[in-house]
Amino acid sequence: MNCPACSYPLVVLEIHDVEVDHCTSCGGVWLDGGELEVLLENATNSHELMASLAEDVEGKEERIRCPICSKKLDKVLYGVERRVLLDICPRNDGLWFDRGELRYVMEMGHFPTDNRVYELISDIFGKSPP
Ligand SMILES: [Zn+2]
Ligand SMILES: [Zn+2]
């Protein structure tokens, strides 16, 4: 599978039974449908976060294509207090996170500070955007 943003081959990482496809070139991350829910399982406000997904009505960013079905990804806003723009497949194949966005999303989940999934995400995907 190739990166939807820069076409570089994606590397598969396994984090606690969740397969994450990572682009080592642009730093983006692809999660198959449903895997975000699994990663957020231990988050204090995961239901609130999943329910927060909303269509991006402005649509200023260029749309990229799904690495699985090649359809254009929809732009969605995610997050209750702070918002981030994610790319989601209209067939629910998965979600694309630009560099730092996955960590940002994990931060919004308010994990316990000793949560190992959150630590791994922080280590692998680095700092959140400014
Ligand atoms: Zn890339
Ligand atoms: Zn798709």
- 23: CA distance to ligand 1 center in Å? 5
Residue 53, classified by CB atoms within 10 Å of its CB into exposed (0-12), middle (13-18) or buried (19+), is middle
- 63: CA distance to ligand 2 center in Å? 13
Task: Give the residue numbers spanning the domain of 52.
Answer: 11-125
- 114: CA distance to ligand 2 center in Å? 34
Per-residue pLDDT of the chain (130 residues; tens, 9 = 90+): 999 999 999 999 988 788 999 999 999 999 999 888 888 888 888 889 888 989 887 778 889 999 999 999 999 999 888 789 999 999 999 999 999 899 888 888 888 878 888 888 888 776 555 5
Residue 65, classified by CB atoms within 10 Å of its CB into exposed (0-12), middle (13-18) or buried (19+), is middle
Domain assignment present for 6 = no
Number of helices and strands (H, E) in the chain? 4, 7
Domain assignment present for 15 = yes
- 65: CA distance to ligand 2 center in Å? 8
Sequence letter at residue 31: L
Q: Around ion ligand 1, which residues have CB less than 5 A away?
A: 3, 5-6, 8, 23, 25-26, 28
Domain assignment present for 3 = no
Domain assignment present for 115 = yes
> How many domains does the structure of the chain reveal?
1
Please tell me the pTM assigned to this model: 0.88
